[in-house]
Amino acid sequence: MIRLVKASTVLLACASFLSLGAWLSVGGLSVAAAQPAPSAAPTQPAPTAAADAGVVRSEADIARRAGVYVRVGDVSITVGMIEDRIAAMQPFLRQRYRDPVQLRQFADDMVRFELMAQEAARRHYDQNPTVVRTLKQNAAQLLIRREFDDRITPETVSEADVRTYYDAHADEFSRPEMRRASHILVHTREEAAQLLAELRAGDARTFREAARRRSLDDQTKLRGGDLRFFTHEGRATGSRDNPVAEALVNAAFALQNLGDLSEPIPLEGNFSIVKLTGKRPAETRTLEQAGRGIRLRLWREQRQAAIDHFVDGLRQRQHPVVNEELVTPIHLDPAEPRPGFGGHDIAAGEGPSAPGMTETPDAPVVPDMAPTPTPDAPVAPTMAP
């Protein structure tokens, strides 16, 4: 039978607003005082990451937190466990539990969850393959967080490593001068001269509409003749596409002001009119400007290298037996391609993925206590120097 805390203790704690046990009392909940451990100690749910790691507690506070709020079968939920659940939340979420009604509901939700979890185990749902796989997934993710993410961070990357990378990859942080232009390709010089007069008399829409109607360049006409940005070599930075024709490049770099039009330019037996639509000066990012991105990249590389080295050690120790010849008989149902972000085919395994999650297969992550809101985990941004 759960014993009530002494009224004087409850009143003192309520006055200070520091004790969760007191809040439970104010909300009408009965919180047990510290009890001697019975001969067969009840099982407790696995604790969450210590929200108060490093906090030195008095014996009285330890005893208060050990008070058992409820026992469900052989599982005990203590005052300290409830406090830690709430302490792990973001500050704005924690505020709601200053309301005794909300606090009581939160504690009751923990009880409801434990009842459901125990009943699920009684009915052997804990042996369901999906549940087992999800448990393994969560365990593997926790292993990675504790063994690698807590040890390898962006801050552990040295300044010397950042500078070494910057010096060795200077081309990644320099961008040459670039121009953006559009063009319309027609058959003859006379046709080009007539078109040039029409374009000079029109507005910005005149050029785009004329390109769509009259240009012989099938690759650019549907986008209004746009050649996009290109360098003196006729290529976009890092692009492997066919370069822009040299005659068009020279014409674009010869124009001075946005909107300027070139005279008709001979191009492979036809004639083109070029319009300047954009200018980018040459740019070089300093170490200070590029440092944060380099640090994030090196952090991800070091983290992944550490995980790979760890897994290699596990392979040597466990000696997994792989029957490579059995890969061929595996049959997969054909999947309908679905357009993903940026035009990638998700069904084909393309598209964006969470950085740093290559070490474990995807699976839904089930929180270990359903009613507990948890803070969002930081996601390492992708570096784009």
Mean pLDDT of 146-164: 96
Q: Are 102 and 16 in a shared domain?
A: yes
Q: Is the pLDDT higher at 11 or at 161? A: 161
Higher pLDDT, 384 or 146: 146
Tokens describing residue 284: 């070089």
Average pLDDT over residues 160-170: 95
Same domain, 184 and 259: yes
For every residue of 235-287, DSSP letters joined together read --TT--SPPPPHHHHHHHHH--STT-BPPPEEETTEEEEEEEEEEE--EE--H
Q: What is the number of structural domains in the chain? A: 2
Mark which of 228, 251, 281 sits at the end of a domain: 281
pLDDT of residue 53: 55
Categorize the per-residue pLDDT at 332 as very low, low, confident or very high, splitting at 50, 70 and 90.
Answer: confident
Residue 330: pLDDT band by 50, 70, 90 thresholds?
A: confident
Above pLDDT 70, what percent of the chain?
72
Q: Within a domain: residue 380?
A: no
Instruction: Classify residue 4 by its DSSP letter.
Output: B
Residue 138 located in a structural domain: no
Q: What is the mean pLDDT of residues 222-251?
A: 88
The span from the CA of 207 to the CA of 221, in Å, is 11
Q: Which domain holds residue 251?
A: 177-281
Query: Which contacts of 14-22 are long-range, i.e. CB under 8 A and separated by 24 or more positions?
Result: 17/98, 19/64, 20/79, 20/82, 20/83, 20/86, 20/103, 21/64, 21/65, 21/67, 21/79
| Residue where one domain finishes, among candidates 263, 281, 299 | 281
Q: Does 337 or 119 have the greater pLDDT score?
A: 119
Report residue 41's pLDDT band, with 50, 70 and 90 as the boundaries. very low
Between 154 and 357, the more confident residue is 154
343 found inside a domain = no
Same domain (yes/no): 194, 119:
no
CB 161 within 8 A of CB 250: no
Beta strands (DSSP E) in the chain are 68-72, 75-78, 174-175, 178-186, 226-230, 265-267, 270-280, 283-284
User: At residue 194, does pLDDT exceed 90?
Assistant: yes
